[in-house]
Amino acid sequence: MDYIRVIPCLDIKDGRLVKGINFIDIKDLGDPVEAAYAYSQAGADELTFLDISATLEGRGLLLDTVARILDRISIPLIVGGGIASMGDIERILDAGVAKLSIASAAIKDPGLIREAAKKFGSQPIIVAIDAKSRPDGGYNVYTRAGTTDTGIDVVDWAKELEQLGAGEILLTSMDTDGTKMGFDIRLTRQVTEAVTIPVIASGGAGRLEHFAEAVTEGGASAVLAASLFHYGELSIFEVKKYLREKSIAVRMDESHG
């Protein structure tokens, strides 16, 4: 059985946990290591660590923070931000990270995805797509923390990524990110219908129903959220309990309730 995964996201800037709205208006929310431990204990299926300023600042990932998180958690960690070479990928996987998320570097050098998948297998290779809607109903891929419009169509890019060997897509709607108005179901469905690899829906969760919609209407294999969990508006357990009530398969440990 394929279980739907519930994934909290830690956006990291200057070593601190932060959250913004529509990729701007960034607020400091504390120590990412403590947050990671809390989510691991709370029943998250995986945890995403995104160093949101690494690419813009032209530096590598904060591997010391990653190492401290790995020491505290017992669930798979997905790491992204500033990953630009095979050397970066090797260092991150060698550190014990389960999966890594590549975004801007994949656009710059699609061959990196093919090479990484060939060497490490598709399973650990996630490509993050930051998507913004166009007036014609399609979506463009944005890079460099959502600051640069590549002009590339999201669905075309998703199909290419599957061909290159990516194991999963982390799909974030820039239009709904941080708004709590719900995932962009139209975007999610466009991508899940175009590829066979798992798609993580990200950006906009605000209520329990939104998580179910991402799965039943959007076709997502996993749902990711940040603000809701960080501010304690919903717990991992509440989300999983609701999904199970909607006949969506999730892994649950009743002790987390």
pLDDT tens-place values along the chain, 257 residues long: 689 999 999 988 777 777 655 544 556 557 889 999 999 999 999 999 988 665 555 555 568 888 999 999 999 999 998 899 999 999 999 999 999 999 999 999 999 999 999 999 999 999 999 999 999 999 999 987 778 999 999 999 999 999 999 999 999 999 998 889 999 999 999 999 999 999 999 999 999 999 999 999 999 999 999 888 988 999 999 999 999 999 999 999 765 55
The one catalytic residue among 45, 51, 130, 177? 130
The one catalytic residue among 11, 45, 51, 184? 11
**Residue-level pLDDT at 12:** 80
Active site residue 11: yes
**Residue-level pLDDT at 179:** 86
**Residue-level pLDDT at 23:** 44
The strand pairing partners of 2, in sequence order, are none
> Domain range for residue 198?
5-250
Pair of tokens at residue 112: 């990196």
Residue 256: inside a domain = no
Rg (CA), the chain: 17
**Residue-level pLDDT at 201:** 98
pTM equals 0.91
Residue 145: inside a domain = yes
Residue 255: inside a domain = no
Residue 257: inside a domain = no
Residue 225: inside a domain = yes
**Residue-level pLDDT at 240:** 98
Q: How many domains does the chain have?
A: 1
* Overall residue count recorded for the chain in this entry: 257
Residue 47: inside a domain = yes
- Domain of 40, CATH number, reads 3.20.20.70
